Every structure is written in C-alpha cells, then in structure tokens.
Amino acid sequence: MRLNAYLARAGVASRRGAEDLIREGRVRVNGEVAGLATFVDAGDRVELDGRALAPEPLAYVLLHKPAGVVTTARDPHGRPTVVGLVGHERRVVPVGRLDADTTGALLLTNDGALAHRLMHPRYEVDKVYEVEVEGDLSDEALRRLAAGVELGDGRTAPARVRRLGPSRLELTLHEGRKHQVKRMCEGVGHPVRRLHRRAYAGLTLEGLAPGRWRELSRDEVDALRAVATARSPTRARGRSL
C-alpha cells in the first residue's frame, strides 16, 4: 500500500494531507524517513512524529443524501456536508460527488483502493438516476440520450434510458463527468428540474429515508469488490424504452 494511502487509512489526514506530512519528514517507516514513493507492507512499522500508527478497520456506508447537503468533508461556506451528516467513527469520505441539489445514493468509505476503482471509467460502474426535466420528452430526445450526447469535453458513452412519464425518465450511466446528467439533458433541450440517484453500483435506497445512512453488509462489500475487479469487455449500446 502506498504510504499516503496508509496514513489516510490510519485516520491522520486525507491522502493529500498525508503527502504534506511525508514531505515535511515527519513520517518514518521501519525507522527511516519516508518519501512520497514509499510503499508499506504487512509487518512494517510506520510512525508519525515518533508515534506508531496502524490503519483503521475499513468502513463502508450508504447514505441517502438529501438536498442542500454538499458532497465534501468540510465546506468553507458553512453548509452541511455528507461527512458531517454521517458522523461515522471512522474517517469515511464520499466516493464521487453529487451536486448540492441532487439527492440519492452516495457511498462513503475509508477504503481508498476500492473507491479509486469504483470511480475509474474502465470498470463501468452503473449509476441509476431518476430525472425530472422541463418540457415533454420526445422519442428523439430519448434516442439521443441513449446514443450519446456531444458535450464540450467530448461525446458521452451510450446510456440506458427508460421513460417514466411525459417529463420524467430513468437514466443509467457508467461515466462520472462533472454535472453529466444535467449537461446531457440540457444538450437535448430539456434542462433538469430535479435529479435523484436511485442506485449506485447495485446499491439501492430501499428502506433508507432521506438523511439516513447504514453500514453495508459483508455481501454488499464483496459485490462492490467484484464490480471493481471484473471489467466488462463490451457494453450494450443504450436503449430507449
């Protein structure tokens, strides 16, 4: 495990903050001052300012994020944060982001390796959104969303699309671009009025009220690891229903 990840697992700082501690020469591994490229193996002794460290147990949390809460650990404007809302005894951080006005499923964990894999586009982790837009959706708009929409940072990958009502749809993506759903819908002429993530990587919000959270079961964690290990060689093209 890379040293900055080890320090983050020990709960002393974020990975970026851990890099600052390493640069300052405050971290030793097996008695030697460590560098940014240092890796930690089982049995290694890691010290910060002479104090021995050990990684915290891994924790995995599913939050039903309400509107008005920002997806970060701290907010300079004093807004409520998802980390503060969870208040877990471990230092868990969100996997990816949801806009402040977006509600729904958000995973938080201190398992940095798994989080990195879940966010990497090669593993094509499904994110299922329920979207309410302005205006009535035409079949052509749904087809364009399914086939991919040309955005300023390139064309989006094919998506799965299902009509839920005249101005409502379900959109399943495996990309994670900034404001992607909002930009896609605006790109086909239907700005988003309300956005809710119903499911993430197979995790749903069943039985979980807005603002509430729960620990994942062992089976759910195993399923996440499986998703973040096996890359699908092909992905069916998007469909409109």
Report, as residue numbers or ranges, the catalytic residues: 99
Lookup: tokens for 169? 């749809």
For the chain, the farthest-separated pair of C-alpha atoms sits apart, in whole angstroms, at 66
DSSP string, 51-106: EEE-PPPP-EEEEEEPTT-BSSS--TT---BHHHHH--SS--EESS---TT-EEEE
Measured from the Cβ of residue 30, the count of other Cβ atoms closer than 10 Å reads 13
The residues that bridge with 197 in the sheet, in sequence order, are 104, 129
- Per DSSP bridges, beta strands 203-204 and 192-200 are antiparallel
**What span, in angstroms and rounded, lies between the C-alpha atoms of 202 and 234?**
19
234 phi and psi angles, rounded to 5 deg: -140, 150
